[in-house]
Amino acid sequence: MAIVIDTPTNTDPFEWLPSGHFDPISGASVLLDYTLQHPNSVATPGRMGSACTISGNGWHYPSQQEWLNDLQAVGYGTGDIFTLTARLYDSSFVLVASSSTISGGLISAPLYPPETFLIPDVQAAVTVWLKRAPQVQSLCQDRVSIVLKAEWQMPKYAIVVTAVGGSPPDLEIDRHYARLDIRFFGPGDTYNVRQRNATYLWRVAHPVLSPPVGLRISGSFHAAHCIVHSVRQDVAPMRMTEPGTDWPVVLVPYVASYMAAPV
């Protein structure tokens, strides 16, 4: 026993009038089961509201208008994916055959990235990379952060990484850019000593971010689920005083290049 559903010539279900044929059976009936998937949702099953008209071994939906009414009643609309299967029942309403499935939709359902997908936090990546470096740890211990913390009891060796914008992303190579203002602090009993130590800390930390070419060490790294291609110094170090304090600070702007996809 077999039942066949005709393949429509149009992908728009509103243009269909489902039809087909089957091996003859006394007292048979044909019903249509469907699945309906709205954009970005799970497909739901159901059954069309009208039984099909049977003529000999052929069948079709009762009328075009009835098909449109029933299609709208099940909630089909633009952007949905709709699939249809014909089921053949005997006079005792026992399922004896199922057809192949046909599918259609006015447009394909849109695809979204996974809900857990986030653009990486390059500010955190650079902070973690600096904090892990032994030469930075020996001076700063854990005083490397995206904020200046009260518990640090300054002035001491410390680094603060602040994100302050950047260039537009390059979508062709899936690369983003971020401007990072990195502030370096140093200890000391006088302003000049603190400034000299802040400059010393920058001299120690800079090769961690931008290794000299002669060292043949890659400037790229992976931290905080972010692949950083490079961190380059944007302008020369600027010496100033941290607002509201008498702590000298060396401020150095950098530009970080990083992948848009997290790892």
Exposure b/e, 185-202, CB count within 10 A at least 16 = b: bbbbeeeeebbebbbebb
Domain of residue 161, CATH code: 3.30.2000.30
Does 49 share its domain with 133?
no
User: Which residue stretches of the chain have pLDDT < 50?
Assistant: none
pLDDT for the residue 39:
81
CA 149 and chain centroid, separation: 32
In a shared domain, residues 156 and 86: no
What is the pLDDT, as a whole number, of residue 110? 61
Within this chain, do residues 255 and 127 fall inside the same structural domain, yes or no?
Answer: yes
Residue 116 confidence (pLDDT): 84
| Residue 90, pLDDT score | 86
Q: What is the pLDDT of residues 85-144, one digit of tens each?
A: 999 988 888 898 899 999 888 665 567 788 888 999 999 999 999 999 999 999 999 999
Predicted pLDDT at 253: 96
**pTM to 2 decimal places:** 0.61
Q: How many structural domains compose the chain?
A: 2
Q: If we measure between CA atoms, which residue out of 258, 256, 69, 76 comes closest to residue 163?
A: 256
pLDDT of residue 178: 95
What's the CATH code of the domain at 18? 2.60.40
Q: How many CB atoms lie within 10 A of CB 143?
A: 21
Does residue 134 sit in the same domain as residue 247? yes
Cis (ω within 30 of 0) for the bond into 155?
A: yes
Q: Length of the chain in residues, anyone?
A: 263
Are residues 136 and 100 part of one domain?
no
Last-in-domain residue among 104, 139, 164? 104
Specify if 223 maps to a domain. yes
Task: Verify that 188 and 86 share a domain, yes or no.
Answer: no
Confidence (pLDDT) at 115: 80
**Same domain? 58 vs 179:** no
136 with 224, same domain?
Answer: yes
113 domain-assigned: no
* Domain presence at residue 136: yes
Q: Which domain holds residue 233?
A: 122-259
According to the model, what pLDDT value does residue 107 have? 60
One domain, residues 130 and 250: yes
Residue 110 is assigned to a structural domain of this protein: no
Report pLDDT for 56.
86
* Confidence (pLDDT) at 57: 86
Q: Which of 11, 50, 16, 56 is CA-nearest to residue 33? A: 50
Regarding whether 100 and 11 lie in a shared domain, the answer is yes
pLDDT at 108: 56
Give domain status of residue 112, yes or no.
Answer: no
Please give the pLDDT value at position 168: 83
Q: How far is CA 220 from CA 126, 132, 210, 258, in A?
A: 11, 15, 9, 9
Q: Is residue 116 part of a domain?
A: no
